[in-house]
Each structure stands twice: as structure tokens, then as C-alpha cells.
């Protein structure tokens, strides 16, 4: 069985996150427990990393791409 690929996109300026493991949601729902949340940090000098939830499922954290200059200028206006 192939494990679900989990990807969380983090804002460009964010360093901390809290997430829910999608694999754990299925396990927890089946046995009547609440979802497995976990927290982590991705320092600003890193664009991606792989974290593990409490049960060891992989979650890829990817920093959002910069807006193109024209889009950033119009968003600021």
C-alpha cells in the first residue's frame, strides 16, 4: 500500500506551523479519537524540509514562492 504524500505550504515569512497529519485523521476517526496535531519550525533560510508526525508519517513542508514583482506591486497598492 502506498502512503499518502502530504505537503504543507508555509508562508514566505512564517517560521512556525501547526498541522494535522492526514494519515492519522483516518486512523483516529476509525477508532474514535481526535486528529493527531503536531508543530514544527522551518527557519527562514530553508525552503523545504520533511517532518514526522507523532506516529512517524512524513509531511513535507514547502515555503511558498515569492510573488512576481508585478503581482507584488499590485497587491501592495
pLDDT tens over the chain, length 77 residues: 566 789 999 999 999 999 988 888 877 777 776 667 889 999 999 999 999 988 889 999 999 988 676 665 666 65
Query: Quick one: pLDDT at residue 27?
Result: 78
pLDDT given for residue 74 in this prediction? 62
Q: What is the pLDDT of residue 36?
A: 78
CB 47 within 8 A of CB 34: no
Q: How far apart are the first and last CA of the chain?
A: 49
* Count of CB atoms situated within 10 Å of the CB of 16: 9
Query: Taking the domains of the chain in order of start, what are their residue ranges?
Result: 7-66
Amino acid at each position: 500500500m502506498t502512503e499518502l504524500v502530504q505537503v504543507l505550504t508555509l508562508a514566505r515569512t512564517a517560521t512556525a506551523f501547526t498541522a494535522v497529519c492526514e494519515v492519522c485523521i483516518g486512523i483516529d476517526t476509525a477508532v474514535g479519537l481526535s486528529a493527531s496535531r503536531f508543530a514544527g519550525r522551518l527557519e527562514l533560510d530553508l525552503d523545504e524540509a520533511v517532518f514526522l508526525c507523532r506516529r512517524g508519517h512524513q509531511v513535507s513542508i514547502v515555503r511558498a514562492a515569492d510573488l512576481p514583482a508585478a503581482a507584488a506591486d499590485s497587491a501592495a497598492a
